[in-house]
Amino acid sequence: MRRIGLFMISLLAIAYFGCTDDDRDTEYLNDIPAPSNVSVAVRATQDNSGLVTLTPNGDGAMEFDLDFGDGSDPVALIPGESAEHIFAEGSYELNMIATAVNGKTTELVQPLVVSFIAPQNLEVTIENDEAISRQVNVTATADFGISFDVDFGEGIGAEPSSANMGETVSYTYEEVGIYTITVTAYSAAIETTVYTEDFEVTAISQPLVSAPTPPDRAPEDVISIFSEVYTDVPGSDYFPDWGQGGCCGSSWGMFDLNGDQMLQYTNLSYQGNQLGSPVDVSEMEYIHLDVWTSDVLQTIEISLISLTNGERPVVVPLTPNDWTSIDIPISDYTDQSGFTVADIHQLKYVGDPFAGGGTVFIDNIYFYRPAQFETLPSIPVDFESSTLEYNVFSFGASDFGPIPAGIVSNPDPSGINTTSTVMEVHKTGGAQVWAGAGFPLAGPIDFTNGTTINVDVWSPNAGTPILFKLEDTSSPPDGNGNPSIIAEVIVNTTVAGAWETLSFDLTTFGGFSTANNYNQVILFPNFGNGGADNFYYFDNIAFAGVTTLPSIPIDFESSIIDYNVFSFGASDFGPIPAGLISNPDTSGINASATVLEVVKTSGAQVWAGAGFPLAGPINFSAGTTVTMKVWSPTAGTPILFKLEDTSSPPDGNGNPSVIAEVIVNTTVANTWETLTFDLTTFGAFDPSNPYNQVIVFPNFGNGGSGNAYYFDDIQLTN
């Protein structure tokens, strides 16, 4: 017992004290639950000696303290160890305490009857499982019985299964049919009691529950073919006769499961759907289907058929006897020989094996894209984001209309500004002296970081006056109909044909106040002079002399934001490799230049991850659901997304006590996909909490194996 206790103490000491605060290991040790499914397997020797072998079991248990219930000394065991003990005839209560790595315990009291009389009144129940095809469950009880074996009748070489009396033994057959099942009951006596039954094993051939309900989506984000949630393409034929009716005994029709209608295809050769009219799905990102099949079919081939250039298939593996939720990137089709998806008029399904005798049920067929929503920028602004809407407006042409202005590629990536994208303002010939351009912000400017704003400016001439202006668009209009609450500062350029940084001290404007809700930026190039057909460029609008942290939305593209990525959880409890790198797979839904890489090195802890601080508390006005693009080398990888309030009191392990965390599994391998984390599913989530740090845990709950994971475009939506 003490040997195991010392092992536990040593292990906990390493976990609790052998690392830095950033390792965050203690938090996850504390989260480990107490052992579950705790039991003792009991086997008596059939020689009237009373010798019994006891083997403890329990999920998450690191040690077991077992009391035999007869007054003898208890023993300590580790997983895999057994104890032998001689009992006199009689009734006992085994008492066992299972302990997890963090000291949490689960207690079990299990009755034991030791008798030298053969089991009597043996009762055996044999049933086909209601949810698992070809699985048979056997339960046995008997007076004086301790355990029982089950021979499932599969012939020579098949080992019997064992259990304690009153427990259930399960077995899955390869084929349906009638099998002779033999149950042998044991006590501590030499004699045994045997029961035999010829039992018919059956298969489940249809779903027992409906497919998952599709999520709410805006009408513009989905094109539905067959669904009870969305509006389907009208006039579609779900069972067109393409000649397959004469092939291989194929048949089809609707299947009703408690009022839920789904498509049913038997002996799947080539069936499909004829859309009521061709649809353009080029703006969608995925096609979704829910497919149920027995274990006859291994895969399903799903083809999109275009009016213009034929069909392209994608093959997807199926999970037998369960719903397989399939999400295929549209890029998997368009990457095939320049295939167009602008005029899809048919979907086709082919089973493997072809016409293999299985029945397929299909529901929820639709094309979709992640929710589209508008996100405005906040200072700092660098015009690099692919997910922000800058909504540039302009004014002051010779006819008082707009002048050309917008976001363009940097025409002179040199000197202090080598970024990719900038704002261009073309002050055309004859433009008004007050001509300019601007853009709205996501909300009022927070002046915590100062009252001087820097702007990178490119002008064709030195000595050019640049007017920088802020407006509160909610303020009453002045006599000209413009916002009355403003702040504006003029600074002259000092160089020609080169980038320079100009500083605008807002306190030099008499009406400036940090309490005002300035929410719009306007720039006036060569202010006070008429247009001479010159181009001006602006970039990197930020507070002077301030290290700027990111705010959601985050795309990792900014050159003026410090992301300050940290990591933790290596095999030695130190950091794992993590940081911003060039996008290693600019394809599919993510062609951006820069992403966050996290390498879960071999032997890394199950809770290894990386994160970064935010500029301030998250504003959840845009929604309480986080979307994030993720690239994983494997499908089915659990990704834990976590928010922390670093100002909250520390928990028992020194980590922030106010958190929110959600786990979502990836669905594709080696491909970018958008995962959705609904923060409201975390019980303690409160949007009023000042969450100000983001952490991502790739392949959470599993040790590191040297894989790299990538993250990008973190946004909020409803």
* Per-residue pLDDT reduced to its tens digit, 176-196: 899 999 999 999 999 999 999
d(CA 426, CA 428): 6
For the chain, what is the total number of helices (H) and then of strands (E)?
A: 3, 44
Residue 359 pLDDT > 70 = yes
Q: What is the pLDDT of residue 205?
A: 83
Residue 2 pLDDT > 80 = no
User: What is the rounded average pLDDT of the residues 531-542?
Assistant: 96
Q: What is the pLDDT of residue 12?
A: 39
| pLDDT per position as a tens digit, 639-660 | 999 999 999 998 877 789 999 9
More confident residue, 312 or 615: 312
Please check whether residue 69 is in contact with residue 114, taking contact to mean a CB–CB distance below 8 angstroms: no
Residue 342 pLDDT > 80 = yes
User: What is the rounded average pLDDT of the residues 258-268?
Assistant: 88
One-letter amino acid for residue 168 of the chain: T
User: What is the rounded average pLDDT of the residues 595-610?
Assistant: 95
Report, in angstroms and rounded to the nearest whole number, the Rg of the chain calculated over CA atoms.
34
Residue 86 pLDDT > 80 = yes
Is the peptide bond between 380 and the residue preceding it cis, with omega within 30 degrees of 0?
yes
User: What is the rounded average pLDDT of the residues 603-616?
Assistant: 93
Residues 6+ apart with CB under 8 A from 510: none
Q: What is the pLDDT of residue 151?
A: 95
What is the pLDDT confidence band of residue 372, given thresholds at 50, 70 and 90? low
- The DSSP code sequence of 432-445 is -TT-EEEEE-SS--
Reduced to 3 states, what is the DSSP secondary structure of residue 619?
coil
Q: What is the pLDDT of residue 345?
A: 96
Q: What is the pLDDT of residue 305?
A: 96
- 232-270 burial: b if 16+ Cβ within 10 Å, else e: bbeebebbeeeebeeebebebeebebeeeebbbbbbbbb
One-letter amino acid for residue 407 of the chain: I
d(CA 522, CA 543): 16
Q: What is the pLDDT of residue 17?
A: 35
Which of 207-216, 276-285, 656-665 has the least mean pLDDT? Answer: 207-216
Percent of the chain whose pLDDT exceeds 70:
93
More confident residue, 31 or 144: 144
d(CA 14, CA 7): 11
More confident residue, 106 or 442: 106
Which of 32-36, 164-168, 584-588 has the least mean pLDDT? Answer: 32-36
Q: What is the pLDDT of residue 48?
A: 93
Q: What is the pLDDT of residue 19?
A: 42
d(CA 439, CA 391): 6
- The DSSP code sequence of 156-196 is TTPPPEEEETT-EEEEE-SS-EEEEEEEEEE-SSS--EEEE
Residue 21 pLDDT > 70 = no
Residue 246 pLDDT > 70 = no
More confident residue, 553 or 640: 640
- 610-635 burial: b if 16+ Cβ within 10 Å, else e: bbbbbbebbebebbbbbbbbbbbbee
This prediction has a pTM of 0.45
Half-sphere exposure of 527 (CA within 13 A, CB side): 16
In terms of Cα–Cα distance, which of 536, 589, 586, 580 is closest to 558? Answer: 580
Please check whether residue 524 is in contact with residue 436, taking contact to mean a CB–CB distance below 8 angstroms: yes
What is the pLDDT confidence band of residue 249, given thresholds at 50, 70 and 90? low
Q: What is the pLDDT of residue 616?
A: 85
Residue 3 pLDDT > 50 = no
Q: What is the pLDDT of residue 45?
A: 94
Residue that is written with structure tokens 């007054």 in the block? 71
Q: What is the pLDDT of residue 374?
A: 60
Please check whether residue 564 is in contact with residue 549, taking contact to mean a CB–CB distance below 8 angstroms: yes
Please check whether residue 618 is in contact with residue 692, taking contact to mean a CB–CB distance below 8 angstroms: yes
User: What is the rounded average pLDDT of the residues 623-648?
Assistant: 95
d(CA 313, CA 270): 12
Reduced to 3 states, what is the DSSP secondary structure of residue 80?
coil
Phi, psi of 701 (to 5 degrees): 90, -5
Phi, psi of 10 (to 5 degrees): -65, -45
Residue that is written with structure tokens 């290991």 in the block? 25
Residues 6+ apart with CB under 8 A from 163: 41, 140, 147, 148, 150, 169
What is the overall mean pLDDT for the chain? 90
- N-to-C CA span, the chain: 54
